Amino acid sequence: MTTLPTSTQKKLGLVIDLDTCVGCHACVVSCKGWNTENYGAPLSDQDPYGAAPSGTFLNRVHSYEVQPDHGQAALVHFPKSCLHCEDAPCVTVCPTGASYKRVEDGIVLVNESDCIGCGLCAWACPYGAREMDAEEKVMKKCTLCVDRIYNENLPEVDRVPACVRTCPAGARHFGDFADPDSNVSVLTAERGGIELMPEQGTKPVNRYLPPRARDRTEDVDILAPFLDPIAAEPQGFMGWLDKALTAMPGGR
């Protein structure tokens, strides 16, 4: 079971647009909200209102500063969750078969009742996509909201992962990468979607769209000429007043 399928019928995954992500962390919150009360064990928090809070999250947003050779630095918000790799090293290391990749849609899941909590899959993942829940002692990871995307009890518009549904900037897209005409395949092709850590050989399904080049204008400030310093020495009436007041006792 923990041997990987040679191919999957679909390759469901996410496209994350680093150009439009505003770093609001709404996807983090909605992910935690949905997944703590649905598939599998809840996502626990430790010391949530204390001095050193921590907890299990399936999606986290980093922020990086990118300094080009010329011009201004760019701030890039960087959401990171499971990339549902085609050659997922987390699956093959699992000794119990709790970790598996689904043949029908390529989603990487954990069967929590078989998980012994050895943590080896988290070691094998280069992306930090798996976190051991400190309360339940089982491995938690992004399920691509498998309990939403096929859920006929939800309105059709909601049958996407919670992070995608909630993103106010429209920076997250969900679809089938096996279909060359799908929204995610088209976006990836048009915008040059990138793989994270290709040298690790994991063949991630999720793609990241790099920030677009910023428009460049000459560094012209049209108001600057009108903002020349005012005369240092007052003239006319103001000049006489200045002198008169200075001459008075205590004037200077």
Partner 1 sequence: MHPAPSVIIFSSVSGLGFGLLVWLGLGFPDVTGMVAFVFFVVAYVLAVGGLLASTAHLGHPERAIKAFRQWRSSWLSREGVCAVSALIVMALYGAGLVFFGASWTILGYLGAALSLATVFTTGMIYAQMKTVPRWNHFLTPAMFLAYSVAGGAILANRWTDAFFLLLLTAVLQITVWWRGDTALAASGTTLATATGLGEMGGVRPFEPPHTGTNYLLNEFGYQIGRKHAQKLRIIALVLAFVVPLVIMLLPHAGHMAAGVAVLSHICGVLTSRWLFFAEAEHVVGLYYGTRAV
Nearest-angstrom CA–CA distance, 31 and 166: 9
**Is there binding between residue 132 and partner 1 (CB under 8 A)?**
yes
**Is there binding between residue 200 and partner 1 (CB under 8 A)?**
yes
* Window of 133-141, 174-182, 216-224, 234-242 that interacts with partner 1 by CB under 8 A: 133-141
Nearest to 172 by CA among 148, 193, 152, 153: 193
Within 98-127, the residues that bind partner 1 by CB under 8 A are 98, 114-120, 122-127
Q: In the set 52, 222, 247, 248, which binds partner 1 (CB under 8 A)?
A: 52
To which H or E segment does residue 186 belong? helix 183-191
Q: Residue 14 forms beta bridges with which residues?
A: 174
Cα dist. 206→55, 172, 222 in Å? Answer: 24, 11, 45
Chain position carrying tokens 């050895």:
118
**Is there binding between residue 22 and partner 1 (CB under 8 A)?**
no
**Is there binding between residue 28 and partner 1 (CB under 8 A)?**
yes
Q: Quick one: DSSP state of residue 91?
A: H
Nearest-angstrom CA–CA distance, 59 and 43: 12
Give 67 or 217: the residue with its C-beta nearer to partner 1.
Answer: 67
Q: Which residues bind partner 1 (CB under 8 A)?
A: 1-3, 18, 25, 28, 52-57, 60-69, 73-76, 78, 80, 89, 91-98, 114-120, 122-128, 131-132, 134, 136-138, 194-201, 208, 210-211
